[in-house]
């Protein structure tokens, strides 16, 4: 069961992380970029998120992005996600921003 407090916290955390990313004060690892890119391009459901979270490397598992993605999984598994729309939109915006930059990051490194 989702709660209003949980969805509000998820929305806040995702927007804060996006703002820090935009400002350059948070720099995700290459692994976090790749995780975001994969999730941004995948069907959005709890099963996909949980599978991605189970297969994390240590550098990604200890990063800040996981703190936002982990609570999104149960929201995506809810029968009615209408109350979670603002939170899920914030997560989507964060992942889309990271995914957009993943290709250019990999081109620089590779």
User: Secondary structure of the chain in the HEC alphabet?
Assistant: CCCHHHHHHHHHHHHHHHHHHHHCCCCCCHHHHHHHHHHHCCCCCHHHHHHHHHCCCHHHHCCHHHHHHHHHHHHHCCCCCHHHHHHHHHHHHHHHHHHHHHHHHHHHHC
Q: What pLDDT sits at residue 1?
A: 46
Long-range contacts of 68-71 (CB under 8 A, 24+ apart): 68/10, 68/13, 68/14, 68/17, 68/94, 69/35, 69/39, 71/6, 71/9, 71/10
Query: Is residue 18's pLDDT more than 70?
Result: yes
Q: What pLDDT sits at residue 90?
A: 96
* Tens of pLDDT, residues 85-104: 999 999 999 999 999 887 67
Segment 61-67 shows an average pLDDT of 92
Q: What is the pTM of this model?
A: 0.87
């Amino acid at each position: 069961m989702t709660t209003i407090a949980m969805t509000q916290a998820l929305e806040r955390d995702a927007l804060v992380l996006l703002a820090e990313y935009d400002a350059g004060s948070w720099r995700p690892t290459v692994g976090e970029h790749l995780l975001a890119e994969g999730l941004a391009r995948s069907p959005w459901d709890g099963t996909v998120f949980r599978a991605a979270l189970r297969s994390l490397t240590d550098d990604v598992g200890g990063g800040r992005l996981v703190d936002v993605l982990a609570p999104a999984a149960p929201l995506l598994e809810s029968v009615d996600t209408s109350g979670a729309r603002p939170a899920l939109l914030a997560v989507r915006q964060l992942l889309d921003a990271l995914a957009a930059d993943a290709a250019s990051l990999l081109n620089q490194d590779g």
